[in-house]
């Protein structure tokens, strides 16, 4: 069904996801013109009327994070100046979310800065998925809908595994809430990897809390970046008697040596969503499988437009 006052647009970060979302909703993708000047400046033009409409701009702020963020801000400004009624920034992957607090003296809280930029640009709402830190919702002075991939993961795990030997594992103490939510849905036990992080993107496994011997361990996290933490957790779980280790992550950042590490690792499989458009190197990695969030995001967009409940998606 085509909603008369709904307009959907895509940035350049993940056009395939935007097209899939539009297909699910049954609504065409809006006409946007992009140009990059020789010095790197971004120009865009909305090539259809959006006066009095609700505009949804789908753009993950993944690599290149700064360029994708600027695209988002420039679209919001263009839509505001075109007298759009409401502007929703649909950000499947919210970059800078790991900088949600002062980790040391004289450091920024960049997640708050990005929230301020999006708000001041003119967005009236934000739709995102699996924020690295849920308190980032409070950085905004506009409504934020933070949806979760756990229902998709739970369904996939049930369809592809014998549930008798499954244990859900949190890769750190901070991810316990996420792991417990998934374990509760699946009615299985959970365990925790106790680690410390001496430097960014460096983690050392200290201990495993819980019984993993003879179990198929499934690690659950919001993102995998360089995969160093993940591979270390896999080895630690196998050393403690796990028969197999798989992993599910909402966002496959997979930067730097991630693809090579995954190929060489003892990990059975990494399942990620298509919140971030993956390069060919990752797509060719046999241990990586991608599931789509198009239906989930599309349903959320429809509910926002129709002023219906988002939380009922998980009931």
Tell me the binding residues for Mg(2+).
132, 172
Phi, psi of 136 (to 5 degrees): -60, -25
Q: Do the Cβ atoms of 13 and 277 come closer than 8 Å? A: yes
- Is it true that the peptide bond before 64 is cis, omega within 30 degrees of 0? yes
Tell me the binding residues for ATP.
39-41, 98-99
Active site residue 204: no
Phi, psi of 233 (to 5 degrees): -65, -40
How, if at all, do strands 216-224 and 202-209 pair?
Answer: unpaired
Helix (H) or strand (E) holding 186: helix 176-186
Task: Tell me the C-alpha distance between 126 and 144, whole Å.
Answer: 5
Helix (H) or strand (E) holding 290: strand 288-291
CB atoms within 10 A of CB 183: 21
Q: What's the count of helices (H) and strands (E) in the chain, helices before strands?
A: 9, 14
Q: Pick the catalytic residue: 195, 244, 263, 287? A: 195
Q: Do the Cβ atoms of 303 and 29 come closer than 8 Å? A: no
Taking Cα atoms as reference points, which of 89, 88, 90, 95 lies closest to residue 61?
Answer: 95
Tell me the binding residues.
39-41, 98-99, 132, 172, 197, 221, 225-229
Residues annotated as part of the active site: 195
């Amino acid at each position: 069904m085509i909603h008369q006052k709904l307009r959907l647009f895509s940035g350049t970060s993940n056009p395939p996801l935007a097209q899939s979302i539009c297909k699910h909703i049954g609504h065409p993708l809006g006409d946007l013109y992009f140009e990059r000047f020789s010095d790197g400046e971004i120009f865009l033009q909305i090539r259809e009327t959006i006066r009095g409409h609700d505009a949804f701009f789908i753009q993950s702020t993944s690599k290149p994070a700064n360029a994708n963020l600027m695209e988002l801000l420039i679209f919001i400004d263009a839509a505001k100046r075109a007298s759009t009624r409401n502007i929703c920034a649909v950000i499947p992957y919210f970059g800078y979310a790991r900088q949600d607090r002062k980790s040391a003296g004289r450091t920024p809280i960049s997640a708050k800065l990005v929230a301020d930029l999006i708000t001041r640009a003119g967005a009236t709402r934000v739709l995102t998925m699996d924020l690295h830190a849920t308190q980032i919702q409070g950085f905004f002075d506009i409504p934020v809908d933070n949806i979760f991939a756990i229902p998709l993961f739970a369904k996939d795990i049930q369809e592809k595994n014998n549930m008798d030997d499954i244990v859900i594992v949190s890769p750190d103490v901070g991810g316990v809430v996420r792991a417990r939510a998934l374990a509760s849905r699946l009615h299985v036990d959970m365990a925790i990897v106790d680690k410390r992080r001496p430097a960014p993107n460096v983690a050392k496994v200290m201990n495993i809390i819980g019984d993993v011997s003879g179990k198929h361990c499934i690690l659950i996290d919001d993102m995998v970046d360089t995969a160093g933490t993940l591979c270390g957790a896999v080895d630690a779980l196998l050393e403690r008697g796990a028969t197999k280790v798989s992993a599910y992550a909402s966002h496959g950042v997979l930067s730097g040596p991630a693809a090579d590490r995954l190929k060489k690792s003892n990990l059975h499989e990494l399942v990620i969503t298509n919140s971030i458009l993956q390069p060919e190197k990752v797509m060719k990695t046999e241990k990586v499988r991608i599931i789509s969030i198009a239906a989930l995001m599309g349903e959320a967009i429809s509910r926002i437009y129709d002023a219906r409940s988002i939380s009922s998606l998980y009931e």
